[in-house]
Amino acid sequence: MNGPVSVAGVSVAPGERRHLFPSASESYTGDRTTLPMAVLNGTGDGPRVFVTAAVHGDELNGIAVCRSLLDTLDPVDLDGVLVVVPIVNVLGVQIGSRYLPDRRDLNRSFPGSHDGSMAARIARLLLDEVIQGSDVGIDLHTAANHRTNVPQVRVDTRDERAHDLAVAFGAPFVLDARMRPGSLRETAGDLGVPVLTYEGGGPLRLDEGAIDVASRGVLRVLHRLGMIDDAPAPAHAAPMVLHESRWLRAERGGLLELHVAAGDHLEPGQPLWSTVSPLGEERATHEAGDEGFVIGATTLPLVQPGQALLHVALPGDRVPVEDDPTDEEDDDPEITEDR
Ligand SMILES: [Zn+2]
């Protein structure tokens, strides 16, 4: 039999669902800005799991996943505790921005502090009330501006438990991604809480496919942890586990014609894209150098030299090095150098 659980100073009884609104910030007019969260305390013993979304304020798919999860789950049928935070970056989401109003990236601001920047304070609130004391976390993201990601789960595959849960999630790809300093995943990992980072779709839109993969995936992880009796079928029966990835960049400026799509399997020599001048002259064609899978792609039809166009993951058991170029947690490849 499970006992009461206390989150953000509120006690939640077994079999109960409570909505909590701890203070995260204040507006210019002095109104309280809260960090809304739902706590489902199951009737039976089990692990404590958190699901977070919109750590980047323009990444909306995860908010829809949280809604679907809260529509589906009943604490009476749950073993363990589930904490759902549909919008972590409560300041960024109000201005449709990936970042905080002070331009800080919340996912580089962990563990945060009570007297630090706007981002540091929200990070610390989430750490204190949600991450600490959890057994597993799932953090829902999308690609950054003008890009889309094929549904994929990023974990440190050396962590066997995280690897097992990432495969159970059932997204088409599992990507081995080392920790980034200041990320939610790194901070939780330092506390012994493995976090699965889900990436699917792009910012400022709802992508039904990416939402469906993640809605099933979260339930499948809860089932794998023994928290619920039934789980939906996986979106993909056998996720491909990939250990290395790189961004392919444009060499010429102009109009972009992509010859492949997100999710495609690439063969060496396969044409990937052409760049065409506004007068219709072909300026460059780029071919695949290695076998790989397109796990992310630009959505902009205009390109300049150096612009990241395709994110390609490479098959094989190569052991990634510590400075692995994988752009964990959907770093904007135009801002963060990937080599
Ligand atoms: Zn993100």
CATH number at residue 298: 2.40.50.100
Residue 256 contacts residue 299 (beta carbons within 8 Å): no
Asked if residue 258 is part of any domain, the answer here is yes
Tokens coding 311: 């994110």
Please tell me whether the interface predicted TM-score (ipTM) of this complex is above 0.90. yes
Confidence at residue 329, expressed as pLDDT on a 0 to 100 scale: 46
Residue 326 has pLDDT above 70, yes or no: no
261/317: higher pLDDT: 261
Q: Report CA(9)–ligand 1 centroid distance (Å).
A: 29
pLDDT higher than 70, residue 328: no
Distance 45 CA to ligand 1 centre (A): 32
CA of 38 relative to ligand 1 center, distance in Å: 21
The domain of 154 spans 5-240
Q: Same domain for 270 and 125? A: no
185 shares a domain with 45: yes
Provide the pLDDT for residue 319: 47
Whether 321 maps to a domain, the answer reads no
Report residue 325's pLDDT band, with 50, 70 and 90 as the boundaries.
very low
Band the pLDDT of 283: cuts 50, 70, 90.
confident
Instruction: Report whether pLDDT(327) > 80.
Output: no
The position carrying tokens 């959505």 is 299
CA 53 to ligand 1 center in whole angstroms: 9
Quick one: 169 and 68 in the same domain?
A: yes
Q: How far is the CA of 141 from the centre of ligand 1 (A)?
A: 4
Predicted pLDDT at 330: 54
In the reported structure, the alpha carbon of residue 275 is separated from the centroid of ligand 1 by a whole-number distance in angstroms of 29
Q: Which pLDDT belongs to residue 322?
A: 35
Q: What digits encode the pLDDT tens for the residues 39-81?
A: 999 999 999 999 999 999 999 999 999 999 999 999 999 999 9
pLDDT by residue (tens digit) across 229-265?
Answer: 999 999 888 899 999 999 999 999 999 999 999 999 9
Mean pLDDT, to the nearest integer, of 25-30? 95
**What is the distance in A from the centroid of ligand 1 to the CA of 14?**
33
How many angstroms does the Cα of residue 144 sit away from the middle of ligand 1?
7
The CATH number of the domain holding residue 97 is 3.40.630.10
Q: Is the dihedral of CA 222, 228, 234, 240 positive or negative?
A: positive
Predicted pLDDT at 332: 60
> Is 318 a residue whose pLDDT tops 80?
no
107 Cα–ligand 1 center, Å: 8
Euclidean distance between CA atoms 55 and 34, whole angstroms: 14
Q: How far is CA 28 from CA 79, 91, 286, in A?
A: 42, 12, 50
Amino acid 237: pLDDT: 81
- 320 in a structural domain: no
Residues 6+ away with beta carbon under 8 Å from 59: 53, 98, 140, 141, 142, 203, 330
- The pLDDT value recorded for residue 334 is 56
Ligand 1 centroid to Cα of residue 328, in Å, is: 9
**Cα-to-centroid distance, 151 and ligand 1 (Å):** 13
